[in-house]
Structure 1
Amino acid sequence: MFHLVLSACLVASPETCAQRLLPAGDAAERQQCEQRAGPIARDWLARHTEMKGGKMACVETADLPALSVREIADDVYTHQGTIAQISPQNQGRIANLSFVVGDSVAVIDAGGSRAEGEALYAAIRRVTDAPISHVILTHMHPDHILGSEVFSEAGATIVADARLPEAVAQRSQAWMVSIPRQIGAGAFAGTHIIGVDQKISEPTTIPLGSTELRLTPQPSAHTDNDLTVFDTESATLFTGDLLFRGLTPSLDGSLAGWLNWLATPPQPEPALIVPGHGPVAESWDEASAPTIQYLTQLRDMTRKAVSGGMALSQAIPAITQMMKPYSEGWADFAATTARNAATAYSQLEWE
């Protein structure tokens, strides 16, 4: 297969350029790709007015930059993100991204930028030419959703919890300013936040032929729009950021709700569990224990600060200090725990 790649530079910063993969140009033959390149590139640039286009090329699949993926079960692939907060060094590529291959392909989380979404798209095309029918977003955070547009251009339906669009709308303007500063303008170039095509508020099944994916919206926990995905053929559970391994959990929803979700092992019992960050696990206890311990201690230490009459300004450093004995194995512990302490305090203050 051949893929259309457009060299484009930021209008506001002409020295900042990137290679953008335009999946609408995919073709079986180079000549076909080249014949369609001009109109497709012009259409894309008309929708991405922050960029100015230049040279176009039709590139074979094997020559595209692609994420590293591992087949964790038959026809189930995962890319493990860097265990760190977003930075220029990791270009925001910190989330676990997965895809399941059946009669079509379903992607589970799309990455933190257009560039990462394109690299995931290339990884999929190295595995299969099957159409990409769905992109399932497990929650609102930008490291999981900002690569979605490339898959939408390839014809995929974007699926998410019904609460996600409003949550994203409240934050999108700030993200479009802050994230390029955190990962670099070049790494973010061409990234747009797009809408959700299929909003779900109850358990939903997506058939893929030999398997099906069971999507379940969850009560407020990590965020107020968490969604889990279960692949029936491989018995793989994709939890999004309801589970963290290695990167310190971040609380953007309900602490009590998150602990309640963790208290009930999933049914049917999964054979594999893919967390939002960190390595794949083979049992619920292995997957959930670190997050349970962290959040339990966060709750208990926050209660201690509240019962001690501490004001918020005193409580945040005190809770962070009390949590230090539980910091081993967690990346970005101090900064994330300080933010979590503020959120937990606001939720537990009037408990």
Structure 2
Amino acid sequence: MAMFFAILSACLATDFPACGPVMLAGQPFASQEQCEAEAPRIAADWLADHPALVRDGLHCAAPGDLPALPVQQVAEGIHVHLGQTVQFEDSPDGWIANLGFVIGRDSIAVIDAGASRQQAQALLAAIRRISDKPITHLIITHMHPDHALGAAVFAEAGATIVGHARLGQAMQARGPVYVDNLIRLYGPGPMIGTQVVLPDVTVAESLDLDLGGRILTLTAASPAHSDNDLTVLDRATGTLFAGDLVFRELTPIVDGSLPGWLTWMDAAQDAGPIVPGHGPVARNWPEAIGAQQDFLTALDQAVRDALDAGLPMSQAVPAIVQSLQPFAGGWNSFPDSVARDATAAFKELEWE
């Protein structure tokens, strides 16, 4: 089926010409002519809900003519976009997380939405180049902006937003700060239309989603990488979307509980392939977590050594960082990330 979308050039009313493309995802059209006839109305409706933005241009386009994220099929009906394996500060646009989607008989579920509206639009264009089935669910694996801030695009497209039971609270507390930080990093234009979206459905333990002959099992984790991590298992193929519970190549970031993360890794997953939050897809569990487990175990030991030595945090963090230098060659964005990890882990473990 042919599909066309209205593409609005939207600008900040107070910072013209800070502008960006807005794909009006809520209303696909069957023809170019229908899109052109209806686009002014739906653009006006969208802008009425976004009073900080003004219209600069408007046109219609098919998904094949829009910027689209590159994706690869990792299992039958499962497609993944691999993000840049660096931290935000080392990225030109913040498009650093792995994102994916699963196509069932009846519908599609998207796993993570990217760092901005623009990235989510490029993911939606990639999906629509492959399938025109309805997108019924967007699953957010955790609160961090590289995974969550593109959610509005899929909400507009009709998806139910699903996340961990603690995701909503985390997004309310941190989301506006995340948006402001990324605007400072990349400028207002690339972040046009990006907004915080809260989940419609939350998962305290587990939840099954049926895409039509295809079941996804969502499992909430105890505090580990963050305090709101959620994994997604496709029962048909055994593919596990681990979110940032698994890092490969990019230095792992502790923003939840280091002991909790180590405990989570101790429970081997009978799954594969495994899609990490960052880095290449792994064939199996040992390949997925091996390097991460070694690094986080060493971090845990270095922090405990510093605590046993009675070092204050000002001395402990440099000592911990120094002890972890043998790992530096195996992880991207290492210097800043390891210092952050040392600080977070010290604060947690000194109160054990």
Deviates more, 1:203-212 or 1:276-285: 203-212
The equivalent residue for 2:285 is 284
Q: Specify the alignment match of 2:74 in structure 1.
A: 72
CA contact (8 A) 1:88 1:184 kept: no
* Letter of the structure 2 residue corresponding to residue 279 of structure 1: P
Deviation at 1:24, TM superposition (A): 2.1
Q: Please, which of 170, 175, 181 is the counterpart of residue 178 of structure 1?
A: 181
Q: Cα distance, 1:202 vs. partner? A: 2.0
Bigger drift between 106-115 and 6-15 goes to 6-15
Tell whether 2:318 aligns with 1:309: no
What SS class does the counterpart of residue 130 from structure 1 fall into?
coil
What's the secondary structure of 1:345's corresponding residue? helix
TM-score calculated relative to the size of structure 1: 0.97
Deviation at 1:296, TM superposition (A): 0.3
> 1:89 deviation in Å?
4.6
Name the amino acid aligned to 1:127.
Answer: I
Question: Which residue does the alignment assign to 2:142?
Answer: 139
Q: Give structure 2 stretches of 5+ with no counterpart.
A: none
Which moves more between the two structures, 6-15 or 274-283?
6-15
CA gap 1:140/1:188 in 2 versus in 1, 3 angstroms = same
How far 1:87 moved relative to its partner?
Answer: 4.2
Letter of the structure 2 residue corresponding to residue 264 of structure 1:
A
Q: How many residues were matched structurally?
A: 349
**1:333 corresponds to which letter in structure 2?**
F
1:176 Cα deviation after fit: 2.4
How much does 1:46 deviate?
1.7
Give the match's secondary structure for 2:58.
strand
The whole-number CA distance in structure 1 between the counterparts of 2:333 and 2:188 is 23
Partner of 1:296: 297
Q: Secondary structure at the match of 1:176?
A: helix
Q: Describe the SS at the equivalent of 1:286.
A: helix
Partner of 1:252: 255
What's the CA shift for 1:271? 2.4
Q: Pick from 122, 125, 128 the counterpart of residue 128 of structure 2.
A: 125
Find the counterpart in structure 2 of residue 328 from structure 1. 329
Runs of 4+ in 1 over 4 A off after TM superposition: none
Distance (whole Å) between structure 1 residues aligned to residue 135 and residue 109 of structure 2: 6
Deviations 1:174-231 (A, max 9, x none): 2222111112222111101112111111211000113110000011100111111000
Deviation at 1:283, TM superposition (A): 1.0
Distance of 1:65 and 1:225 partners within structure 2:
31
Instruction: Output the TM-score relative to the length of structure 2.
Output: 0.97
Q: 2: distance between equivalents of 1:295 and 1:131?
A: 40
- Name which of 22, 25, 48 aligns with 2:24: 22
Q: What is the root-mean-square deviation in Å for CA atoms of aligned residues?
A: 1.1
Percent identity of paired positions between Structure 1 and Structure 2 = 46
Deviations 1:73-109 (A, max 9, x none): 1110000000111148531100000000011010000
Which residue matches 1:52?
54
Cα distance in 1 between the residues matched to 2:41 and 2:206? 40
Decide whether aligned partners of structure 1 residues 131 and 204 sit closer, same or farther in structure 2, where only a CA change above 3 A counts: same
Which of 249, 264, 268 is residue 265 of structure 1 equivalent to? 268
Match of 1:33 among 4, 18, 35: 35
* Unpaired segments ≥5 residues, structure 1: none
Pick aligned residue for 1:43 from 42, 45, 70: 45
Query: How far apart in 1 are the matches of 2:147 and 2:118?
Result: 13
- The answer as to whether partners of 1:81 and 1:97 remain within 8 angstroms in 2 is yes
Match for 1:166: what amino acid?
Q
Q: 3-state SS of the aligned residue for 1:14?
A: coil
1:9 is displaced (CA, Å) by: 1.1
- Quick one: distance in 1 between partners of 2:175 and 2:100? 24
Cα contact 2:155–2:161 (8 A) shared by 1: yes
Residue of structure 2 equivalent to 1:7 = 9
1:81 pairs with 2:83: yes
